[in-house]
Amino acid sequence: MAGNTFGKLFQITTFGESHGDGIGVVIDGCPAGLEITREEIQKELDRRKPGTSHLTTPRQEKDQVEMLSGIFEGKTMGTPIALLIRNQDQIPAVYEPIKDLYRPGHADATYDAKYGMRDWRGGGRASARETIGRVAAGAIAKKLLAHAGIQITGYVTQIGNVKITQVDESTITTNPLNCPDATVLDAMIQEIETARKDLDSVGGIVEIIARGVPAGLGEPVFDKLSADLAHGIISIPAVKGIEIGDGFACASKHGSENNDEWALKNDNNNNSHIGTTTNHAGGIIGGISNGEDILLRFALKPTSSIAKKQQTVDRNGTSAEIEVHGRHDPCVAPRAVPVGEAMVALVLADHYLRNKISRIETL
Amino acid sequence: MAGNTFGKLFQITTFGESHGDGIGVVIDGCPAGLEITREEIQKELDRRKPGTSHLTTPRQEKDQVEMLSGIFEGKTMGTPIALLIRNQDQIPAVYEPIKDLYRPGHADATYDAKYGMRDWRGGGRASARETIGRVAAGAIAKKLLAHAGIQITGYVTQIGNVKITQVDESTITTNPLNCPDATVLDAMIQEIETARKDLDSVGGIVEIIARGVPAGLGEPVFDKLSADLAHGIISIPAVKGIEIGDGFACASKHGSENNDEWALKNDNNNNSHIGTTTNHAGGIIGGISNGEDILLRFALKPTSSIAKKQQTVDRNGTSAEIEVHGRHDPCVAPRAVPVGEAMVALVLADHYLRNKISRIETL
Amino acid sequence: MAGNTFGKLFQITTFGESHGDGIGVVIDGCPAGLEITREEIQKELDRRKPGTSHLTTPRQEKDQVEMLSGIFEGKTMGTPIALLIRNQDQIPAVYEPIKDLYRPGHADATYDAKYGMRDWRGGGRASARETIGRVAAGAIAKKLLAHAGIQITGYVTQIGNVKITQVDESTITTNPLNCPDATVLDAMIQEIETARKDLDSVGGIVEIIARGVPAGLGEPVFDKLSADLAHGIISIPAVKGIEIGDGFACASKHGSENNDEWALKNDNNNNSHIGTTTNHAGGIIGGISNGEDILLRFALKPTSSIAKKQQTVDRNGTSAEIEVHGRHDPCVAPRAVPVGEAMVALVLADHYLRNKISRIETL
Amino acid sequence: MAGNTFGKLFQITTFGESHGDGIGVVIDGCPAGLEITREEIQKELDRRKPGTSHLTTPRQEKDQVEMLSGIFEGKTMGTPIALLIRNQDQIPAVYEPIKDLYRPGHADATYDAKYGMRDWRGGGRASARETIGRVAAGAIAKKLLAHAGIQITGYVTQIGNVKITQVDESTITTNPLNCPDATVLDAMIQEIETARKDLDSVGGIVEIIARGVPAGLGEPVFDKLSADLAHGIISIPAVKGIEIGDGFACASKHGSENNDEWALKNDNNNNSHIGTTTNHAGGIIGGISNGEDILLRFALKPTSSIAKKQQTVDRNGTSAEIEVHGRHDPCVAPRAVPVGEAMVALVLADHYLRNKISRIETL
């Protein structure tokens, strides 16, 4: 019930503050017998960890994962899997001077309003470090999905005013931005560099594709696949919008343009199946996957922590000026790619399991 | 667990198919002692019911609500509230000729893929008639929110290519489109009329504002207010995207533009409180309401049912042409306004209750 | 979250008060394609309905079930199944004189304490009529279990001071007490008749056996099969205790007596499997079924409504004498048999589904 | 959904195997601002830890708790509280010779049936070490309850054939058995000593009292206070039965004996309130607390691990003899006292929060 649990069958509970002892996650509901290594989890964490380029926060965190339970002799046991990542490079002293000030764009005031207190040593639970638990759990979800033939790919499509013009997936891992378009990469880097030099930050957009998703995933009417994806994605820090398939562009279209017609199609093995000839829907119809690629996009606001001077108040309402120094990403979109993939993986793993019990004839 | 329940403390479970006996909802978790009348619920249902103008489906449904339980002597009892709305104007015969065909844009194929069968008499559970239960429950949620000083208003901001240029809330109820801008009303009507004459349909965008929401609602990190709103809104049939506050526009902005600065503000009673001087965030920071207006927008695809000829296949994969006649709205955006309001009300009612137990000092 | 939902995958939500419009249940999570008829549900309701012998309440209720949704062409559709049973033979006037008095043993005072009000027209939500929804849902659960080869049988083992000395299951349905022992039947009837003549009531014990339960059902460590059974059974009105297998008798035994030794056994088809040579555990080890019969027993207090004079107070604390007339069973144990079976069926159906996704190799 | 989470508002998720890295728990939903120290948690763990007398297992575990998150400057923050207790004194080598054998009374076979594998290094997740997480979380629940004026006390009432004849609570902590009756203490010790000398084990019964529980806790009809208590208690390893108040003794009583009459009573401060003159019900009527003491009792089977020779099979069904040596308690009842208290505390804390939102007038 409390808000730190996500998923219903493949269920995760995360814990930890940015400047506490560590960040962790308990995964409950992962089927027994799934092969998983520490390295497979670490690899995903390494994709989101800070300090890998001059375009991200210089905070040095190795983010080494410790597997506390649930895995034995290289396989999941069906028991809860607890993963712990210790915090190491904390400098809470940076925050001491501004501990009573409400940083614009930050959750300081809202945590105070809700809980009557907050961990002022950095972002606490509202820090993006919280997403470490999601990514660690997502690595296991991805492994389960691989078993089901599902792969997930994410990349940046926009940073500031620079948008991609093409997608070449082989390009994604060759640059620190997770950008799939070499032709705009320099311009994107420039957007970030400029923002940083201005003591400012900049927003962006990330796109995720899930391939190999079988038709049938999603539980209408409230746990539609689209609804659960939206829930998971919007819960990522800094995300302010999501769209599935053509999304907001649908609003100005006609049904005859937007409907995806059904046809008999051949898959890679030349087996025929019913599919659609276009994919405006982003692979989800009526809240259930239709066998086409799942496609979604989400918008990230510019990082709230900026060194530029801003007006604010302290917790008593007294006016003040603030400069937020700390160590922050001038643009969170690149590092949001593995986080977005993780959330999509978690939702799909959950629905993959839920769909296994939807028909009497397959029980 | 199953997908027809929404909310955690103020929790609803809906049931019913479009061409079955009726549509209903059970509300569990509404506090005892809330005054509610049948008329208050009926009034909301009347806002979404079909047949009220030539711009909507001519299906004639009175959608009269019956209160089966949970209310006694004009008040909620704390026990589950069951509401039932019988279906009346069903013409399943219309669907008989196309019972084996997959209508483009519809959930026929995905329900078949998931359940191995489907109710071919209309949209079944995937029909927008399903939202009756949401609106009925939303009426009770709104009553609870009124007790807390919260009001919700929705309106159409775009139909096809026509966008509003101003918001005059007094205009909303004076036209069948729930449009707040008299200057574009005729153009919007024209968009719909044209689509219908072309045997086609058209999409749209709806905006919802919640006023009077106290700071503190939302349960990080997964049940953030924004995440639950996204979950609820995207679960509405035909919705393909949602954004909170400035939403997708944030992607191209800098932090110094997008951050809402904190300041001491005066409310209507001249009491001062901490608030923000702008509201790019749409009233939610770190997943928790900040006391400003909650603001969100969602995109609806054009109605899938169109009389225009389309290519498709039947359930065996045999090619066929299809014209979907039935009785459908050429644009669902206007009738999605009360549904969107209902979902926002349900989420806020849920979080209003959840927030009551967040601090030891107020227990 | 609210308290009227039970089960996680095969999930029911009940509603309705004893003297309101009706009693109902929504079943969400039943797999699609299960064949079920109105008659199969009605048959279970007939087993619990009142007025079938002079040993039960004379309240005349036909308890006819109406299937509102979720079933089409004789099969479940995977959508929520709503069942409604209208109340008919209500005489709230009987309760008017005692509407402000707290009946001893009844929930009047506790509902007042919790909700600040209560439905004084009979037991309201605390009435045993509430169990109608459980039995109706249980009929569907039983049908699902039959598909899995699981059968459930219940009977009375004790009424007042009379205990059974043998179990002959063919006897159960031949008498109004659901007693499996013809040699004590008259003495049991006498216990009830005597209580009634004394304007009093008497307690009893019910035993349930589930046969054909495969090994593997149960989700440690909190949703152990035993724990969920205890939850379901103790939630039945008037139940004050439950034991699994040898239960309380284990307390005075040694491990060497109580442990069930494992052995290779032959089933009816002469296939060998690993099982136990005794069944002290009642078919559950470590919270998971072991393939032996599930065996449990629960104690019911004597009916609280008695015509004998008792001391009490009204809601203001003023002393008063009370005689509760209404129409009540002098012993609830016989009619608790189908209710107990229903709860066991609901728990097993839920765990049958949950267990389907416990291992990667069977997905 | 998965089975390692308990509670709905005050919610815990436990993890860890007996011979893995450690045992832990995440508590989500504890209100912010509750003062709690490491010592308060440790104190409860010390009450259940092994090796404190020659009557328990000699396994030496300090069971030191580490607070990983959720607590800052001595107070809960409203964020998830993660507690970790490392395993130290593991000797898995003891289990190597019997790794393929099914120990009678143990969950080896059922875990294999469910998951297709198991952690053979001791009891794994089915070990009573799992209850460490419950006790740690229970310490925080107790602190919350103390804030509400609720205290919980537990003690042993029976070991083997020796039953207590009186309750003197001051005696409980003066002996290693948590026995409240000095007159039977030696006989109880003798029961255990005899069992151990015979390479055997013995069962017992534990009773728990909760005082100061306000009227109104419990959520009918499925989450009745009694039902949730039964769920929690039966989920404790080795528990085979539970009864509330007079429990199974009710079966042979009449309503006029068993009903608790209502009366105006004076509390310690001489304020009058409505209560009952007897407490056969154990403080719960209609599933809701009535303001009297909550009283329950649960039966524990004799420890399954015995050194006495038993017949069994290995996982292939081959017959074998087995002697389970390891280091085990000959009677688990004494150490089950703090575990039982913890479960009662967790249930009451959950319902204390749930009840805060049951009435509109107190919101």
- With a cut of 60, say whether residue C69 has pLDDT above it: yes
Closest to B298 (Cα-Cα) out of B249, B240, B347, B232: B240
The residue ranking higher by pLDDT, D60 or B258, is B258
Q: Token pair 């037991």 is at which residue?
A: C123
What is the band of C295 on the pLDDT scale with cuts at 50, 70, 90? very high
Number of H helices, E strands in chain B: 7, 18
Which of A31, A147, A220 comes nearest C358 by C-beta?
A: A31
Query: Helix or strand or coil: residue D353?
Result: helix
Q: What is the DSSP string of D58-70?
A: -------EEE-SS
Residue C88 CB neighbours (<10 A): 12
What is the band of C59 on the pLDDT scale with cuts at 50, 70, 90? low
Q: Can you say how many angstroms the Cα of residue D203 is from the centroid of all Cα atoms in its chain?
A: 15
The residue ranking higher by pLDDT, C58 or D363, is D363
Neighbour subunits, B (≥3 Cβ pairs < 8 A): A, C, D
Which of C2, C22, C78 comes nearest B29 by C-beta?
A: C2
Backbone phi, psi, residue B110, to 5°: -75, -35
Neighbour subunits, A (≥3 Cβ pairs < 8 A): B, C, D
In Å, how far is C8's CA from the nearest CA of chain A? Answer: 9
Query: Helix or strand or coil: residue A336?
Result: helix
Residues 97-156 of C with CB under 8 A from D: 102, 104-107, 109-111, 113-116, 125-126, 130
Kindly state the DSSP code that residue D172 receives in the 8-state scheme: G
- The answer to whether the Cα torsion of A213, A216, A219, A221 is positive or negative is positive
User: Which residues of chain B does D28 touch, with a Cβ-Cβ cutoff of 8 Å?
Assistant: none
- With a cut of 80, say whether residue B1 has pLDDT above it: no
- With a cut of 80, say whether residue B362 has pLDDT above it: yes
Give the CA dihedral C282, C285, C288, C290, nearest 10 degrees.
Answer: -70
Residues 29-58 of C with CB under 8 A from B: 29, 32-33
CB A209 within 8 A of CB A259: no
Q: Cα(D233)–Cα(D230) distance, rounded to whole angstroms?
A: 5
Q: Can you say how many angstroms the Cα of residue B244 is from the centroid of all Cα atoms in its chain?
A: 15
User: Which residues of chain D does C11 touch, with a Cβ-Cβ cutoff of 8 Å?
Assistant: none
D253-282 pLDDT, tens per residue?
999 999 999 999 998 788 899 999 999 999
Neighbour-count burial of C305, counting CB atoms closer than 10 A to its CB (0-12 exposed, 13-18 middle, 19+ buried): buried
Query: Helix or strand or coil: residue D214?
Result: coil
- Name beta bridge partners: D157: none
- With a cut of 60, say whether residue D1 has pLDDT above it: no
Q: Cα(D156)–Cα(B36) distance, rounded to whole angstroms?
A: 51
User: Which residues of chain D does A29 touch, with a Cβ-Cβ cutoff of 8 Å?
Assistant: 1-2
Closest to D20 (Cα-Cα) out of A348, C26, A71, C124: A71
Q: Cα(A74)–Cα(A82) distance, rounded to whole angstroms?
A: 15
* HSE value, Cβ hemisphere, 13 Å, CA-based, for B210: 36
Show the 3-state SS of B156-197: EEEECCEECCCCCHHHHHHCCCCCCCHHHHHHHHHHHHHHHH
D5-245+281-362 falls under which CATH superfamily?
Chorismate synthase AroC (3.60.150.10)
- Name beta bridge partners: B243: A241, B297
Average pLDDT for B132-153: 98
- The answer to whether the Cα torsion of B306, B309, B310, B313 is positive or negative is positive
- Whole-angstrom CA distances from A330 to A98, A186, A233 are 20, 16, 21
User: Which residues of chain B does A248 touch, with a Cβ-Cβ cutoff of 8 Å?
Assistant: 205, 240-241, 243, 248, 299
**Joined tokens for residue B181:** 């801008």
Q: Cα(C38)–Cα(C35) distance, rounded to whole angstroms?
A: 10
Q: Which residues contact D2 (CB under 8 A, 6 or more apart)?
A: A9, A11, A28, A29, A80, C219, C223
Strand residue runs (E) in B189-238: 204-211
Q: Cα(A127)–Cα(A132) distance, rounded to whole angstroms?
A: 10
- Whole-angstrom CA distances from D307 to C285, D123, D201, D237 are 19, 16, 9, 20
Q: Cα(A313)–Cα(C301) distance, rounded to whole angstroms?
A: 62
CB of C286 within 8 Å of a chain A CB? The answer is no
- Name beta bridge partners: A82: A26
Average pLDDT for C337-358: 98
Closest to B227 (Cα-Cα) out of C329, A5, C315, D96: A5
Residue pairs between chains A and C whose CB atoms are closer than 8 Å: 57
The pTM score is 0.98
In Å, how far is C75's CA from the nearest CA of chain B? Answer: 9
pLDDT of residue A91: 73
Residue by residue, pLDDT tens for chain A (363 residues) are 579 999 999 999 999 999 899 999 999 999 999 999 999 999 999 998 877 677 777 667 788 999 999 999 999 999 999 999 999 877 767 788 888 999 999 999 999 999 999 888 888 999 999 999 999 999 999 999 999 999 999 999 999 999 999 999 999 999 999 999 999 999 999 999 999 999 999 999 999 999 999 999 999 999 999 999 999 999 999 999 999 999 999 999 999 999 999 999 998 788 899 999 999 999 999 999 999 999 999 999 999 999 999 999 999 999 999 999 877 889 999 999 999 999 999 999 999 999 999 999 999
CB contact under 8 A, B105 and A282: no
CB contact under 8 A, D16 and A69: yes
- With a cut of 80, say whether residue B212 has pLDDT above it: yes
Q: Token pair 């707040």 is at which residue?
A: B180
CB contact under 8 A, D250 and C105: no
Residue D64 CB neighbours (<10 A): 14
Closest to A142 (Cα-Cα) out of A34, A246, A282: A34
What is the band of B59 on the pLDDT scale with cuts at 50, 70, 90? low
- With a cut of 80, say whether residue C90 has pLDDT above it: no
CB C75 within 8 A of CB C33: yes
- Whole-angstrom CA distances from A214 to A230, A237, B244, D70, D310 are 19, 29, 31, 40, 50
Residues 155-194 of C with CB under 8 A from B: none
CB contact under 8 A, A363 and C353: yes
Closest to D81 (Cα-Cα) out of D40, D47, D49, D46: D40
Q: Token pair 């009864």 is at which residue?
A: D243
CB of A307 within 8 Å of a chain B CB? The answer is no
CB contact under 8 A, D234 and C244: yes
In Å, how far is C76's CA from the nearest CA of chain B? Answer: 9
Neighbour subunits, D (≥3 Cβ pairs < 8 A): A, B, C
Which of D78, D220, D361 comes nearest B358 by C-beta?
A: D78
Q: Cα(A289)–Cα(A291) distance, rounded to whole angstroms?
A: 6
CB B177 within 8 A of CB B55: yes
Kindly state the DSSP code that residue A176 receives in the 8-state scheme: T
Buried b (16+ CB within 10 A) or exposed e, B55-70: bbbebebebebebbbb
Q: Cα(B355)–Cα(A113) distance, rounded to whole angstroms?
A: 10
CB A288 within 8 A of CB A271: no
pLDDT of residue B2: 79
CB of B353 within 8 Å of a chain D CB? The answer is yes
Kindly state the DSSP code that residue D302 receives in the 8-state scheme: P
User: Which residues of chain B does A304 touch, with a Cβ-Cβ cutoff of 8 Å?
Assistant: 255, 259
Q: Cα(C253)–Cα(D238) distance, rounded to whole angstroms?
A: 13
In degrees, rounded to 5, the angle at the alpha carbon of residue A18 between the alpha carbons of residues A17 and A20 is 60
pLDDT of residue B40: 98
Percent of chain B with pLDDT over 90: 86
CB B302 within 8 A of CB A253: yes
pLDDT of residue B299: 98
User: Which residues of chain D does A351 touch, with a Cβ-Cβ cutoff of 8 Å?
Assistant: none
**Joined tokens for residue D124:** 């794994």
What is the band of C238 on the pLDDT scale with cuts at 50, 70, 90? very high
CB of A218 within 8 Å of a chain D CB? The answer is no
pLDDT of residue A161: 98
Closest to B326 (Cα-Cα) out of B23, B105, B21, B59: B59
User: Which residues of chain B does D360 touch, with a Cβ-Cβ cutoff of 8 Å?
Assistant: 31-34, 76, 144, 147
Query: Helix or strand or coil: residue C57?
Result: coil
CB contact under 8 A, A264 and B310: no
Residue D264 CB neighbours (<10 A): 13
**Joined tokens for residue B362:** 């107020």
pLDDT of residue A59: 67
Q: Cα(B350)–Cα(A5) distance, rounded to whole angstroms?
A: 16
User: Which residues of chain A does C144 touch, with a Cβ-Cβ cutoff of 8 Å?
Assistant: 360
Neighbour-count burial of C176, counting CB atoms closer than 10 A to its CB (0-12 exposed, 13-18 middle, 19+ buried): middle
Which of B220, B240, B260 comes nearest A246 by C-beta?
A: B240
Neighbour subunits, C (≥3 Cβ pairs < 8 A): A, B, D
Of all residues in chain C, the one with the smallest CA distance to D301 is C250
Side chain identity, residue A318: T
CB contact under 8 A, A20 and D68: yes
CB of C317 within 8 Å of a chain B CB? The answer is no
- With a cut of 60, say whether residue B303 has pLDDT above it: yes
Least confident stretch, B87-96, C187-196, C237-246 = B87-96
pLDDT of residue D328: 83
CB C39 within 8 A of CB C49: no
